[in-house]
């Protein structure tokens, strides 16, 4: 019996070694099929296994189904999800184009009566975005460059510095990345991120690296780098978003309570940076929905609120050369925000957005010999060698043709390069950047 068990053990070891050394056959055609109805009903998180690894094959099937959803709410949902996925893949300009397509679709619009009760009606938009108004350069508006504006903030000026984003537009995240070191010198200690799951705060704070499975939007590399920088500056990350807990009214109220309980309730002198989507930072009330900015103000804390989502990329004049802050001298921006931030149009260098190079990265070409095993389309991910595979990659690109492989945007160091085929097969190699 002992000999038999030993032989079985040796056999299992040999099988394990054989499996590890087995070459990936990237020439096989996939046999997977996707039910169109189920595919089109997918949410963003449905494309990730355990909120971590992307199902690239499913993403490609979803992308190829663009003609399937009906015009209106179904088509809008399709484009909203696809814009997030394109941003995840590093296709930043494509994400904006698809986001605009979503904005052109008829959608439910919330209408409120005098009592604040909500009803829905269908809204048919005439344009995807507003044109940039010349009035912003009139005497009615003060303006200054963003960096100078933040550097001139007084330490006692605002306990809450709140700025918004549109989740598919990674460019907005670069703003927060840039501001973190300056705001740290102004006494800000807490960074509240909508992207984190509200019950995963402790898990993220014990790691210096961003973790993929700890939030819906954490997968995207520039948001991952916000977390890296925040941890290196000794910020405490705050997760608060009570998504999925009921109505939007309940979500906002519970989210506010989570922020207070995890900051000011235990540290009355706390100064908080709040980074959230679109209207969440608004100081205006929408019917019965009390946005986070509104609740802070209602409870005696006047937040400094900035919207950067109104004018960007396709509706920004060439005269905007630096991130510029506008303030209406007679009223709030749209009645809801203290300031309007306008970012300059993205320029491109080395086939990538120039703002990536402004984050201390440099272009690194992937050796074509390392890509012989795989046919386009495929994904290339770069993981820092000292970070686990559970971390968010430092960079990620999608390759549609081998004749135009964009460079990776990396810093000096050692990396594990992960290549993912259209059938979700993977192989890795090492890369040193000096």
How far CA 101 is from CA of 80, 82, 310, in Å, comes to 9, 10, 16
* Stretch 5-23: mean pLDDT: 38
CB 259 within 8 A of CB 147: no
The first and second tokens of residue 273, run together, are 């940076």
pLDDT at 401: 95
Q: How confident is the model at residue 402 (pLDDT cuts 50, 70, 90)?
A: very high
pLDDT at 432: 98
- pLDDT tens, residue by residue, 279-304: 999 999 988 899 999 999 999 999 99
Task: State the Cα–Cα distance between residues 308 and 325, nearest whole angstrom.
Answer: 9
The first and second tokens of residue 118, run together, are 């909500």
With a cut of 50, say whether residue 18 has pLDDT above it.
no
Domains annotated on the chain, with CATH: 34-128 (no CATH), 134-342 (3.40.50.11550), 348-433 (2.60.40)
Across all residues in the chain, what is the average pLDDT?
91
Beta-bridge mates of residue 337: 333
pLDDT at 109: 67
**What percentage of residues in the chain have a pLDDT greater than 70?**
90
pLDDT at 108: 73
pLDDT at 243: 85
How far CA 424 is from CA of 32, 121, 359, 419, in Å, comes to 11, 41, 30, 9
- pLDDT tens, residue by residue, 365-394: 999 999 999 999 999 999 999 999 899 999
């Amino acid at each position: 019996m002992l000999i038999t068990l030993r032989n079985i053990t040796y056999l299992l070891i040999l099988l394990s070694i054989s499996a590890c050394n087995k070459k990936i056959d990237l020439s096989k055609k996939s046999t997977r099929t996707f039910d169109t109805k189920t595919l089109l009903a997918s949410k963003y998180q449905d494309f990730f296994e355990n909120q971590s690894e992307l199902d690239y094959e499913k993403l490609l099937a979803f992308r190829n189904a663009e003609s399937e959803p009906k015009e209106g709410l179904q088509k809008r949902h399709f484009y909203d999800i696809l814009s997030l996925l394109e941003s995840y893949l590093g296709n930043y300009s494509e994400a904006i184009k698809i986001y605009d397509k979503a904005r052109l679709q008829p959608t439910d619009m919330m209408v409120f009566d005098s009592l604040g009760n909500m009803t829905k009606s269908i809204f048919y938009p005439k344009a995807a975005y507003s044109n940039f108004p010349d009035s912003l350069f009139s005497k009615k508006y003060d303006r200054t460059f963003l960096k100078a504006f933040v550097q001139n903030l007084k330490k006692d000026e605002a306990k809450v510095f709140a700025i918004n984003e549109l989740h598919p537009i990674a460019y907005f995240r670069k703003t927060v990345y840039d501001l973190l070191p300056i705001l740290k010198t102004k006494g800000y200690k807490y960074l509240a991120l909508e992207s984190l799951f509200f019950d995963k705060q402790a898990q993220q704070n014990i790691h210096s690296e961003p973790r993929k499975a700890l939030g819906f939007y954490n997968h995207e590399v520039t948001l991952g780098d916000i977390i890296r920088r925040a941890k290196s500056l000794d910020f405490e990350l705050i997760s608060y978003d009570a998504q999925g807990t009921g109505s939007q009214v309940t979500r906002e109220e519970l989210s506010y309570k989570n922020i207070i309980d995890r900051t000011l309730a235990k540290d009355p002198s706390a100064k908080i940076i709040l980074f959230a989507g679109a209207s969440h930072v608004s100081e205006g009330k929408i019917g019965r929905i009390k946005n986070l900015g509104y609740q802070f103000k209602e409870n005696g804390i006047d937040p400094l609120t900035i919207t950067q989502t109104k004018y960007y990329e396709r509706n920004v004049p060439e005269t905007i050369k630096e991130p510029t802050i506008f303030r209406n001298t007679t009223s709030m921006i749209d009645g809801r925000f203290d300031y309007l931030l306008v970012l300059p149009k993205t320029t491109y260098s080395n086939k990538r957005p120039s703002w990536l190079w402004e984050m201390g990265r440099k272009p690194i070409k992937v050796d074509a010999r390392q890509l012989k095993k795989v046919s386009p389309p495929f994904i290339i991910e770069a993981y820092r060698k000292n970070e686990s595979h559970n971390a968010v990659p430092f960079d990620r690109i999608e390759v549609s043709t081998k004749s135009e492989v964009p460079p990776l945007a990396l810093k000096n160091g050692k990396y594990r390069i992960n290549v993912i085929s259209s059938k979700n097969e993977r192989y890795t190699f090492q890369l040193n950047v000096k």
